[in-house]
């Protein structure tokens, strides 16, 4: 069944025959969107993060050195 038979009116030959209906803003425009960049000032500083990462890296390298000595000499000397 065609749309013309269902709606009991002649089918449209082209899109240009369709009524023009555009969606747009309401009269006077939309209300303004209220926003603000509020970045919190909390948390550790960059220096604290750097020192923590450096400390973790240093501790890890120390542990690698201890493990290398244990592997090289056995656990007798440590």
CA distances from 50 to 42, 54, 67 (A): 16, 6, 26
Q: What is the pLDDT of residue 74?
A: 75
pLDDT at position 14 is 67
pLDDT at residue 77 greater than cutoff 60 = no
Summarised one tens digit per residue, pLDDT across range 14-55 is 666 667 777 888 889 899 988 888 888 788 999 999 999 999
- Note whether 11 and 2 are within 8 A (CB): yes
pLDDT classification of 72: cutoffs 50, 70, 90: confident
Q: Where are the domains of the chain?
A: 2-73
| pLDDT above 80: residue 8 | no
Query: What is the pTM for the complete model shown?
Result: 0.46
């Amino acid at each position: 069944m065609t749309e013309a038979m269902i709606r009991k009116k002649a089918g449209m030959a082209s899109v240009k025959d369709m009524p023009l209906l555009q969606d747009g803003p309401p009269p006077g425009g939309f209300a303004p969107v209220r926003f603000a960049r509020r970045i919190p000032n909390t948390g550790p500083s960059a220096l604290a993060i750097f020192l923590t990462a450096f400390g973790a890296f240093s501790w890890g390298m120390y542990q690698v050195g201890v493990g290398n000595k244990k592997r090289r000499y056995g656990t007798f000397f440590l």
